[in-house]
Amino acid sequence: MMIVDLIDGDDFRARIQALGVRVGDDACPRTCARMALCKHREVGVPGLEDTVRELMRQRDVMLPSVRQAIEAFLLTEFSRT
């Protein structure tokens, strides 16, 4: 039996925090994505675009709440470039 580690809200929040975006430890995926987008537009967030692209390649192991947050706030930002 294969066990797959799902990308959940905690994983997503940790990745966003690791990029230097300040979000609360209880922030939901939508808040994390929204805060990351705001910081990216204000001063830039090195590695954010790569992180978004990497996560979207793993859609099959991502919880819907994380996927929806990325699609709603971040994916469109980087598809414009």
**Distances from the Cα of 45 to the Cα of 4, 14, 37, angstroms:** 29, 15, 9
Evaluate the CA torsion angle 46, 38, 58, 9 in order and state its sign. positive
- From first to last of its 81 residues, the chain has per-residue pLDDT tens of 666 689 999 999 999 999 999 999 999 999 999 999 999 999 999 999 999 999 999 999 999 999 999 999 999 898 865
Closest to 75 measured CA to CA, from 25, 40, 42 = 40
Entry pTM: 0.90
pLDDT at residue 79, rounded to an integer? 81
